[in-house]
Structure 1
Amino acid sequence: MEPNMRFGIVERQSFPQRVLHWTELLDPTNLILSIEQIEKSRQILLTSEDAVRFDLKNERIQEAWKRSLATVHPDSSRLIPVAFRPAALLPFSMPLLFVSLVTTKTLKSMLLPQVSFYTYLTAFNMFNGNATYSRRRTESIMLGAGVIASSTFFGLVPRLRQVKSALLRRSLPALLVAHISGVNLVASRSLETIRGIEVMDKDGNVIGYSRKAGTKAVRETAASRVLLFGTSAFIPELFSLFIKQYKNLLPFPWTFWALKMSCTIFVMSLMVPVSFSIYPQIGQIQRGQLEEEIQSATEDTELFYNRGV
């Protein structure tokens, strides 16, 4: 069985434990690990009899788990590209989110930040989604392009309309970011709900492909994405409204933007591990919730699937 999948099945972590665990996996040093380091860690997990659980006193085993879980896809056993590993979400998407919410006057200056933000978000969702359903490269490219175009269009809507209320003008783009980020994930991973994803028993044996499990995986991840980007966009906007009341007291004009950027970094740094931890990465589903052909193929009452990130 793939070690990362085995970890998710064996380790039944509570929400606080998952948050602490994700803070370790989101360490930026996981972005600069060499292929040799990762392969060495994977070899330890595949050959060592002690590498059954994560919470061992053996620091070498713990480090091997962290490296594997932070860099390798649990479905395909392939390395996740550096720019789309979980640890890359904060440093890559935070500045894009910040710039996309800045009020500008020209269409060109509004368009580029929106395209950049939703391009990265779409690619991140697709690379960290479920990899067990059949798909072609051209199919993924066309789907991604359509998702980016539609997300960008809806992201520009509040910018193109004149809103008189200052509070609504500030909060509407943030609320829309939350909604679009959720829809973006549903759309970019829509094939999982159409073609189904692998469900397996506790021993890692694949029982079948389930559209219902795919729908559950996409729905849960979309909810976590709404929480992440909704909170990360909305709180800094409220903070900026408060700071603007005292803008004349700020020593330099750029201090306002520095304070808002700091608020965005702080909020998103807290929300990334929290949003990733709301649901386990390896999800559980009752046999009775699955298709009849899967129910008849096993007697296990609880099955597992990769929810993704």
Structure 2
Amino acid sequence: MEPNLRFGISERQSFFRRFLQWMDLLDPVNLFISIGSIEKSRQLLFTTEDASKHYLDNRRIKDAWNRSLSTVHPDSSKLIPTLFRPAAFLPVTAPVVIMSMMPAKGMNSMVLPQVCLYGYNTAFTITNGNASYRLGSIEKALLGVGVFASSVFFGLIPHMVQMKYPLENFWLKKALPVVFLAQVSGMNVFACRSFERVRGIEVMDKEGRVIGYSRKAGRKAVRDTAISRAVLFGTSALVPEVTIYFLKRTQFFPLTPLSLKMARVSFTLLIMGLMVPASFGMFPQVGQIQCSKLEEEIQSSTEETELFYNRGV
């Protein structure tokens, strides 16, 4: 059984524990782990009995789990490309989110952040989605291009509206891009992983035995991930804007255009630094679902009352 799935099934953690674990997994050092080190860590996990039970009390086992969970896909057991590992998400997306929330000074400054943001989000979501169903390379390419183009188009709408029809109301002017950013980010996940809802994903018992493919589990996995992504980007864009607004109102210190930009950058990095592990850990990566809520053919295939599936990131 794949160690990463075994860990998710056996370790039913609280949100706080998942948050702390994601803080470890999002360490940028995980982008530079050698293949040899990853293989040694996974060999240790394969050969250590009840390795998941030693996650907290054995430093060597904990480091091995962190290397495995941060670099290996739990469905395919393949290495995740370095740029699309969870640890790369914050360093790549934070600067782009900051750029996308800045007032556009021209077409290039308006389009480029959207292209970078949704291009990376699309590739990241497809790479870290559920891989237990068949998806050909041509299908994957066409899906990625279509989702990328539509996400960029919808992401540009609030900026194009403001360029053509300048909004006077402060809250509407600031809220419109935030609402679109959250909505489009969530819909990006729905579109990238649409095949999971149509073809179904593997559901397994507590021993890791695959019981069948469930479209209902696929819908739940995609919905939970889309919610977490919308919350991540919506909160990361909204809180800095509200904070800057109140800073201007209170005037604790002299505000210049440069200091406002520095404050916006600092607040965005801080909020995203907290929201990325919070959103990734909002739902367990290995989800749990009642067998009675699944398709009849799956219910008739097992006597288990609860089954498990890989939610993805």
One fold, TM greater than 0.5? Answer: yes
Structure 1 gaps of 5+ residues are none
Give the secondary structure class of the aligned counterpart of 1:53: helix
Say if 1:56 and 1:275 are closer, same or farther in 2 by CA, change over 3 A.
closer
Contact 1:217 1:306 in 2 (8 A): yes
Matched, 1:274 2:308: no
The two structures, once aligned, show a CA RMSD in angstroms of 1.5
Counterpart of 1:57 in structure 2 is 57
- Residues 87-132 of structure 1, C-alpha deviations (whole Å, 9 max, x = no match): 1111110111111111113222211110110000111111110001
Counterpart of 1:293 in structure 2 is 297
- Residues 222-265 of structure 1, C-alpha deviations (whole Å, 9 max, x = no match): 11111111000111112232344549923x64221111000000
Contact 1:232 1:271 in 2 (8 A): yes
Counterpart of 2:67 in structure 1 is 67
Contact 2:122 2:192 in 1 (8 A): yes
Counterpart of 2:237 in structure 1 is 233
- Alignment counterpart, residue 254 of structure 2, candidates 249, 253, 266: 249
Instruction: Give, in whole Å, the separation in 2 of the partners of 1:54 and 1:221.
Output: 28
- Alignment counterpart, residue 268 of structure 2, candidates 223, 248, 264: 264
Counterpart of 2:21 in structure 1 is 21
Contact 1:100 1:114 in 2 (8 A): yes
- Alignment counterpart, residue 177 of structure 2, candidates 173, 179, 185: 173
Counterpart of 1:201 in structure 2 is 205
Instruction: Give, in whole Å, the separation in 1 of the partners of 2:112 and 2:248.
Output: 26
Instruction: Give, in whole Å, the separation in 2 of the partners of 1:77 and 1:224.
Output: 24
Say if 1:54 and 1:186 are closer, same or farther in 2 by CA, change over 3 A.
farther
Contact 2:5 2:74 in 1 (8 A): yes
Matched, 1:119 2:119: yes
The letter of the residue matching 2:254 is L
- Residues 168-192 of structure 1, C-alpha deviations (whole Å, 9 max, x = no match): 1112101110111000100001010
Give the secondary structure class of the aligned counterpart of 2:289: strand
Could you list the structure 1 runs, at least 4 aligned residues long, displaced by more than 4 angstroms after superposition. Answer: 244-248
Instruction: Give, in whole Å, the separation in 2 of the partners of 1:97 and 1:141.
Output: 25
| % identical equivalent positions | 57
Counterpart of 1:303 in structure 2 is 307
**TM-score normalised by length of structure 2:** 0.95
Instruction: Give, in whole Å, the separation in 1 of the partners of 2:130 and 2:263.
Output: 38
- Residues 16-57 of structure 1, C-alpha deviations (whole Å, 9 max, x = no match): 111111111111111111111111101111112252424342
Matched, 1:2 2:7: no
Instruction: Give, in whole Å, the separation in 2 of the partners of 1:243 and 1:277.
Output: 31
Give the secondary structure class of the aligned counterpart of 1:126: helix
Instruction: Give, in whole Å, the separation in 1 of the partners of 2:124 and 2:13.
Output: 25
Matched, 1:217 2:190: no
Say if 1:54 and 1:124 are closer, same or farther in 2 by CA, change over 3 A.
farther
Give the secondary structure class of the aligned counterpart of 1:39: helix
Structure 2 gaps of 5+ residues are none
Contact 1:228 1:268 in 2 (8 A): yes
Give the secondary structure class of the aligned counterpart of 1:143: helix
Instruction: Give, in whole Å, the separation in 1 of the partners of 2:52 and 2:169.
Output: 57
The letter of the residue matching 1:100 is S
Contact 1:143 1:188 in 2 (8 A): yes
**196-205 or 269-278, which moves further after superposition?**
269-278
- Residues 130-152 of structure 1, C-alpha deviations (whole Å, 9 max, x = no match): 00111111111111111111111
